[in-house]
């Protein structure tokens, strides 16, 4: 059995368990650690005292360095938990401490069971500490002053020709501790990237330097704790670079700034490699990993300096200037918890089912027969359910801040590559949107920002020739408008050449010459979304091939949004994206057409009226028109578009619902307006697929399905349907 003293507290008193007269054994300490939480401070302090005393006793009895090192390392981790800011990583550190104590018992047991060592073997053992002791030293926590207790000299990078027989990263698939680490790596690297972009603007910003240093330092420490040596050692090299910046030996400019940003990128890629290993896949070293490690070991030897970017970047201009992010609000300083996104989605789905079930109960005839008391109780429950639904939907809402920070980096890199100076400004980055939507919107925004910098903003020389400031400006803003979220991306570049766009479209067969003579400016600008159509003067490695903007429009449309363009030649361009707040619920007007019922999103409805015969006209080749406030707009019958029988045929006896966005309008002819409802959106399923003019369905209060109208798709469908113009 392992040898442990009964006097474990260091003050002559025994550490008791459950009021007994005997001290805890080391196995019981391990068992206790498994049950402890960061809030159990008294118990943690007792365990720390016991571990530290045992480490001293084992060191004094000359039984070898391994066990004392492991016990001291475990005690250090627990002291970190007890620190004022240690609770954030408390569970991970407690688990790591428990593993180290287990390793100590195993090492002690192995030493007792092994035969007596020969002098030679003892010498070998003394010069080569056991792996457990090595692990303990690798996972040492930082000193109280925040500086790592590792040597100031960076570790040697591994041989680039390392054997491919051993996996680059080895983890146990499904390890929850490592999964949590991967999420933290992403967060720390995103914060570090934003701070590094600020440092290029103000290299003396001590707070930003400390933010990056802490990010690299924390990743290093936690990676060592979960035994991810490749990540820990790389983070140590990156931390060493930032430590030189903290001490004033170098400044975060030029090649040093590039190197720090590339280090942050590499840590994110290492996190993805760990994530792949957790899924049971073979984790390969990210491309450029060993080369970057070699550069970090001695940047100056590789030509990196304040003004030199040898081997790192071909940028020759001033970096893009990133807008300083706003200080965190009090809401961000509150308590946070981590949870799997799948659980959150399941919660929201169940709340949606609750809303549907409640609507069925509310409309049940038995409730109406129950009198005023029953209806009062149902009304009270309705209020609670609505608040619960709003609260659950709010859980999935995230601000644009993280997405906008990624765009800062995109602007910086593209500006350097193209020899341009660009100021990037963000407005409304605290505006919130559904998490699933912001993830789907990230790629389209990145592509649009690249285009704005690449062939929107001019070079400094061209801007000065045109009387502009040599530093261009790209701004992205997000705000709420009428139940929607609006994202505006604008630049003060050269703008879109309308005539050139139209000529290119005619040449590529996108539109006819006759159509080119009557096309409006708004319609001409929409041509940039046609596949293969580009007005870039030359093809670059960033854009100019006419590929991507068509995908941008498709992605935005898939989110239930639309994208508009306003541009003035020589002055700049503005892209405006209108999106629903969420894809999970919608407020809709329930309408009847024949015996069928449809939901029209209330955000699309401008007005409704019963048209008089004098307001209706039929024009050859254009179909029916409704004159509204002196202007004719197209009139479409839902009964003809969806082939519904039994609908009202006399337009003056039906109702016209005017939908649109102000620039484009149309009227939908329906039989009756039934009710306004908030419904849970359901997809039509793979069996039905996508139907033009419909965006999904919803289960109504009576259990039947109501189809949700897609007004943008209806305009396209109406133009394709002969029955409309018959």
Q: What is the pLDDT of residues 160-207, one digit of tens each?
A: 444 445 667 877 777 777 777 888 888 888 888 888 888 877 888 888
- Read off the pLDDT band of 327 (50, 70, 90): very low
Is the domain of 119 the same as that of 199?
Answer: no
Give the whole-angstrom CA distance, residue 471 versus residue 492: 10
Q: Is the pLDDT of residue 317 over 70?
A: no
- Give residue 490's pLDDT: 93
Give the whole-angstrom CA distance, residue 179 versus residue 185: 10
Domain range for 346 = 341-396
Q: Is the pLDDT of residue 442 over 80?
A: yes
- Give residue 598's pLDDT: 92
Is the domain of 4 the same as that of 127?
Answer: yes
CATH code (residue 620): 2.30.30.40
The tally of domains found in the chain comes to 5
Q: At what angle do helices 206-225 and 90-113 cross, to 10 degrees?
A: 40
Q: What are phi and psi of 540, to 5 degrees?
A: -115, 180
Boundary residue ending a domain (93, 114, 138): 138
Determine what percent of the chain is predicted with pLDDT higher than 90. 6
- Give residue 689's pLDDT: 64
Name every residue whose Cβ is closer than 8 Å to that of residue 227 and which is 6 or more positions away in sequence: 135, 139
CB–CB of 320/415 below 8 Å? yes
- Give residue 123's pLDDT: 36
- Give residue 302's pLDDT: 82
- Give residue 544's pLDDT: 45
Is the domain of 554 the same as that of 436?
Answer: yes
- Give residue 349's pLDDT: 81
CB–CB of 331/432 below 8 Å? no
- Give residue 192's pLDDT: 85
Is the domain of 433 the same as that of 386?
Answer: no
| Token pair listed for 677 | 């409802």
Give the whole-angstrom CA distance, residue 74 versus residue 26: 12
CB–CB of 221/86 below 8 Å? no
Which is it for the CA torsion 482, 488, 494, 495, positive or negative?
A: negative
Is the domain of 29 the same as that of 63?
Answer: yes
Q: What is the pLDDT of residues 49-107, one digit of tens each?
A: 888 887 777 777 766 666 777 788 788 878 888 877 666 667 777 777 777 787 777 76
- Give residue 12's pLDDT: 34
Give the helix ranges, DSSP H, for 247-400.
Answer: 254-278, 289-297, 341-363, 365-369, 371-395
Considering only CA atoms, which of 175, 167, 159, 186 is closest in space to residue 284? 167
Q: What is the pLDDT of residues 463-482, one digit of tens each?
A: 999 999 999 999 999 988 76
Helix-, strand-, coil-residue percentages of the chain, each rounded to 5: 50, 15, 35
Name every residue whose Cβ is closer than 8 Å to that of residue 400 and which is 6 or more positions away in sequence: 428, 429, 430, 431, 432, 433, 438, 478, 487
Mean pLDDT of 437-456: 86
Determine what percent of the chain is predicted with pLDDT higher than 70. 75
- Give residue 476's pLDDT: 93
Say if 222 falls within a structural domain: yes
- Read off the pLDDT band of 686 (50, 70, 90): low
Considering only CA atoms, which of 259, 84, 308 is closest in space to residue 154? 259
Q: What is the pLDDT of residues 247-260, one digit of tens each?
A: 888 888 888 888 88
- Give residue 215's pLDDT: 86
Say if 628 falls within a structural domain: yes
Ranges 149-153, 477-481, 565-569, 587-591: which has the least confidence:
149-153
Say if 459 falls within a structural domain: yes
- Give residue 346's pLDDT: 84
- Give residue 619's pLDDT: 77
Q: What is the CA radius of gyration of the chain?
A: 33
Give the whole-angstrom CA distance, residue 503 versus residue 512: 10
CATH code (residue 180): 1.20.120.160
CB–CB of 367/382 below 8 Å? no
Say if 522 falls within a structural domain: no
CB–CB of 270/177 below 8 Å? no
- Give residue 592's pLDDT: 92
Q: Which contiguous run of DSSP H or E holds residue 593?
A: strand 585-593
Q: What are phi and psi of 30, to 5 degrees?
A: -60, -45
- Give residue 661's pLDDT: 56
Is the domain of 289 the same as that of 367?
Answer: no
Say if 518 falls within a structural domain: no
CATH code (residue 491): 3.30.565.10
Is the domain of 392 the same as that of 403?
Answer: no
Is the domain of 423 the same as that of 555?
Answer: yes
Q: What is the pLDDT of residues 132-156, one digit of tens each?
A: 433 433 344 343 333 334 334 444 4
Is the domain of 568 the same as that of 617?
Answer: no
Give the whole-angstrom CA distance, residue 29 versus residue 52: 13
Ranges 82-96, 323-337, 360-374, 673-687: which has the least confidence:
323-337
- Give residue 165's pLDDT: 53
Say if 515 falls within a structural domain: no
Boundary residue ending a domain (580, 613, 639): 580
Give the whole-angstrom CA distance, residue 109 versus residue 104: 9
Say if 161 falls within a structural domain: no
- Read off the pLDDT band of 118 (50, 70, 90): very low
Name every residue whose Cβ is closer than 8 Å to that of residue 614 and which is 6 or more positions away in sequence: 627
Say if 601 falls within a structural domain: yes
Model pTM?
0.56
Considering only CA atoms, which of 233, 230, 229, 259 is closest in space to residue 244? 259
- Give residue 89's pLDDT: 66
Q: What is the pLDDT of residues 12-22, one digit of tens each?
A: 333 434 443 44
Q: Pick the residue with more confidence: 175 or 114? A: 175
Is the domain of 191 the same as that of 115?
Answer: no
Measured from the Cβ of residue 296, the count of other Cβ atoms closer than 10 Å reads: 24
Ranges 188-197, 529-538, 568-577, 667-676: which has the least confidence:
529-538
Measured from the Cβ of residue 196, the count of other Cβ atoms closer than 10 Å reads: 26
Is the domain of 246 the same as that of 371?
Answer: no
Give the whole-angstrom CA distance, residue 399 versus residue 435: 8
Torsion of CA 291, 292, 294, 297, to 10 degrees: 180
Is the domain of 406 the same as that of 555?
Answer: yes
Q: What is the pLDDT of residues 25-43, one digit of tens each?
A: 666 677 677 677 778 888 8
- Read off the pLDDT band of 581 (50, 70, 90): confident
- Give residue 634's pLDDT: 83
- Give residue 101's pLDDT: 80
Boundary residue ending a domain (120, 138, 156): 138
Look over the chain and give the mean of its residue pLDDT values, rounded to a whole number: 75
Q: Pick the residue with more confidence: 722 or 101? A: 101
């Amino acid at each position: 059995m392992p040898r442990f003293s009964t006097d474990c507290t260091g003050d002559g008193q025994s550490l008791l368990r459950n009021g007994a007269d005997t001290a805890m054994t080391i196995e019981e300490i391990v068992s206790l650690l498994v049950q402890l939480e960061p809030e159990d401070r008294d118990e943690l302090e007792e365990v720390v005292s016991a571990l530290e005393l045992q480490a001293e006793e084992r060191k004094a009895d000359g039984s070898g360095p391994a066990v004392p090192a492991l016990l001291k390392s475990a005690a250090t981790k627990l002291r970190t938990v007890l620190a004022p800011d240690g609770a954030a990583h408390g569970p991970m550190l407690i688990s790591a401490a428990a593993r180290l104590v287990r390793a100590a018992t195993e090492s002690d047991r192995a030493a007792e069971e092994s035969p007596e060592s020969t002098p030679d073997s003892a010498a070998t053992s003394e010069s080569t500490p056991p792996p457990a002791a090595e692990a303990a030293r690798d996972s040492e926590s930082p000193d109280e002053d925040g500086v790592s207790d590792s040597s100031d000299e960076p570790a040697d990078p591994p041989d680039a020709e390392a054997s491919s027989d051993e996996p680059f990263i080895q983890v146990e698939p499904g390890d929850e501790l490592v999964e949590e680490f991967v999420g933290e790596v992403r967060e720390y690297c995103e914060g570090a990237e934003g701070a590094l972009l600020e440092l290029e603007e103000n290299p003396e910003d001590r707070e930003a330097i400390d933010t990056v240093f802490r990010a690299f330092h924390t990743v290093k420490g936690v990676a060592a704790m979960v035994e991810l040596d490749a990540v820990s050692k790389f983070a140590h090299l990156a931390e060493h670079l930032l430590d030189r910046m903290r001490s004033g030996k170098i400044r975060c400019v030029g090649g040093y700034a590039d190197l720090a940003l590339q280090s942050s990128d590499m840590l994110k890629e290492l996190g993805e490699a760990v994530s792949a290993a957790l899924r049971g896949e073979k984790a390969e070293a990210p491309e450029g990993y060993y080369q970057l490690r070699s550069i970090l070991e001695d940047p100056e030897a590789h030509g990196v300096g304040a003004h030199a970017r040898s081997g790192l970047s071909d940028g020759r201009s001033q970096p893009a200037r990133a807008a300083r992010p706003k200080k965190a609000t009090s809401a961000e300083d509150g308590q946070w918890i981590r949870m799997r996104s799948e659980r959150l989605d399941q919660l929201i789905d169940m709340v949606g089912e609750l809303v549907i079930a409640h609507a069925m109960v509310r409309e049940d005839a038995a409730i109406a027969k129950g009198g005023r008391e029953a209806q009062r109780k149902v009304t009270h429950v309705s209020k609670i359910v609505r608040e619960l639904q709003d609260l659950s939907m709010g859980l999935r809402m995230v601000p644009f801040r993280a997405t906008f920070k990624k765009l800062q980096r995109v602007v910086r890199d593209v500006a350097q590559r193209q020899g341009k100076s660009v100021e990037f400004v963000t407005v409304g980055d605290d505006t919130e949107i559904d998490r699933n939507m912001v993830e789907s919107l990230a790629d389209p925004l990145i592509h649009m920002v690249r285009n704005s910098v690449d062939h929107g903003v001019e070079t400094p020389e061209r801007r000065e020739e045109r009387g502009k400031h040599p530093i261009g400006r790209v701004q992205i803003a997000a705000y709420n408008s009428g139940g929607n979220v609006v994202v505006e991306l604008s630049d003060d570049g050269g703008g879109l050449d309308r005539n050139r766009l139209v000529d290119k479209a005619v040449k590529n067969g996108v539109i006819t010459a006759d159509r080119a003579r009557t096309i409006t400016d708004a319609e001409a600008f929409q041509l940039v979304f046609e596949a293969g159509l580009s007005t870039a003067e030359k093809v670059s490695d960033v854009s100019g091939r006419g590929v991507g903007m068509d995908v941008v429009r498709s992605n935005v449309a898939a989110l239930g949004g639309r994208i508009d363009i306003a541009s003035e030649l020589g002055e700049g361009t503005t892209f405006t994206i209108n999106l629903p707040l969420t894809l999970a619920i919608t407020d809709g007007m329930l309408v009847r057409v024949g015996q069928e019922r449809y939901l029209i999103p209330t955000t699309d409805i401008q007005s409704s009226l019963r048209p008089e015969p004098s307001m209706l006209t039929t024009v050859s080749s254009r179909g029916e028109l409704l004159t509204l406030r002196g202007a004719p707009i197209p009139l479409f019958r839902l009964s003809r578009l969806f082939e519904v029988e039994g609908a009202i045929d006399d337009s003056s006896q039906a109702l016209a619902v005017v939908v649109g966005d102000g620039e484009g309008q149309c009227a939908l002819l329906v039989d009756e307006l039934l009710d306004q409802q908030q419904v849970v959106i359901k997809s039509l399923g793979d069996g039905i697929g996508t139907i033009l003019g419909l965006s999904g369905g919803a289960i109504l209060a009576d259990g039947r399905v109501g189809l949700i109208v897609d007004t943008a798709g209806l305009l396209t469908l109406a133009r394709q349907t002969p029955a409309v113009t018959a």
